[in-house]
Amino acid sequence: MAHYKLILAYDGTLYSGFQRQAIKNSVQATFEEALRELGWQGRAVIPSGRTDSGVHALGQVVSFSFDWRHSDFALMSALNANLPDDLSVQAVERVGETFHPRYDALKRTYRYQLYSRPTRDPLVDHFAWRLDTLPDLEKMNRAAEELIGEHDFSAFGKALKENGTTTREIFEAKWQRNEIGMVFWITGNAFLYHMVRRIVWVLVKIGLGNLPEETVRVGLETGSTGIVALAPARGLTLIKVVYPGDKDEAI
């Protein structure tokens, strides 16, 4: 029985999130169904995190144990043959039995995209938030600098379990222009529930002039911004998760 680490990519548009749910379509249930087609009898795969409904991934990590008698490449090929077009395995690796995708992670990187068009662009809209006008990049980056470091982020999200800590460390938070409009990169040791989408909402409103630039700093200092709105899920993608021994482990 080997223990596997897999990297998954998916278009989250038609999924109710990663986590398996009783009556809704989820990434986890779809992937586990493909795995069972190969003879897997495990209870559940373990993910690096649970992406929300409509959120995408290029670097979601899952692990599971499986008595597979063929090569790692054969496992990847067999799974992809059983998976739908919007979900695929990008890499397969055998790891030690103690590997845990969530608890062993050193850092996670998310990307959020914005674009501005007079009407919806079908080739972009599943993966970006459409605005009437793009916000001020410099204003958003000045506010985003406040996020760097270790803070209590309770103003921007909830702990993943009751009485869990809301302290997180952010290593990078910056906006850039790209070919479709703007992109936000944020890397941290971990994230609270809805944290990235709430941060993006606040930063975009700052960039549009609807909120003062000090909103982020006040939220970190007081534990509240008074804002509960979230940026749309479709603009958010989990890009990668880094573990000890990875080539970009250094923080």
Per the domain annotation, does 50 fall within a domain? yes
Q: Measured in Å, how far apart are the chain's first and last C-alpha atoms?
A: 34
Question: Which residues are tagged catalytic?
Answer: 52
Tokens representing residue 3 in the block: 């223990």
The CATH number of residue 225's host domain is 3.30.70.660
Give 198-249 pLDDT, tens digit per residue.
Answer: 999 999 999 999 999 999 999 999 999 989 899 999 999 999 999 998 877 5
Q: Rounded to an integer, what distance in angstroms lies between the CA atom of residue 88 and that of residue 166?
A: 32
The mean pLDDT of the chain is: 95
Nearest of 140, 141, 139, 119 to residue 130 by alpha carbon:
119
Overall domain count for the chain: 2
pLDDT at 243: 96
Contacts (Cβ under 8 Å, ≥6 apart) of 147: 170, 173, 186, 199, 216, 220
Per the domain annotation, does 247 fall within a domain? no
Give 32-81 pLDDT, tens digit per residue.
Answer: 999 999 999 999 999 999 999 999 999 999 999 999 999 999 999 999 99
The CATH number of residue 31's host domain is 3.30.70.580
pLDDT of residue 184 exceeding 90, the answer is yes
Looking at the structure, do residues 36 and 83 belong to the same domain, yes or no?
Answer: yes
- DSSP one-letter code for 201: H
Q: Rounded to an integer, what distance in angstroms lies between the CA atom of residue 234 and that of residue 129?
A: 7
Per the domain annotation, does 198 fall within a domain? yes
Domain final residue pick, 95, 123, 150: 95
pLDDT at 24: 81
Looking at the structure, do residues 129 and 219 belong to the same domain, yes or no?
Answer: yes
Range of the domain at 27: 2-95
User: Which neighbouring-strand residues pair with 236?
Assistant: 112
Looking at the structure, do residues 121 and 226 belong to the same domain, yes or no?
Answer: yes
Looking at the structure, do residues 78 and 113 belong to the same domain, yes or no?
Answer: no
Per the domain annotation, does 251 fall within a domain? no
Q: Rounded to an integer, what distance in angstroms lies between the CA atom of residue 5 and that of residue 62?
A: 6
Domain final residue pick, 52, 68, 95: 95
Domain final residue pick, 95, 117, 151: 95
Give 100-141 pLDDT, tens digit per residue.
Answer: 999 999 999 999 999 999 999 999 999 999 999 999 999 999
Query: Per-residue pLDDT averaged across 93-106, rounded?
Result: 96
pLDDT band for 21, please (50, 70, 90 cuts). confident
Looking at the structure, do residues 229 and 111 belong to the same domain, yes or no?
Answer: yes
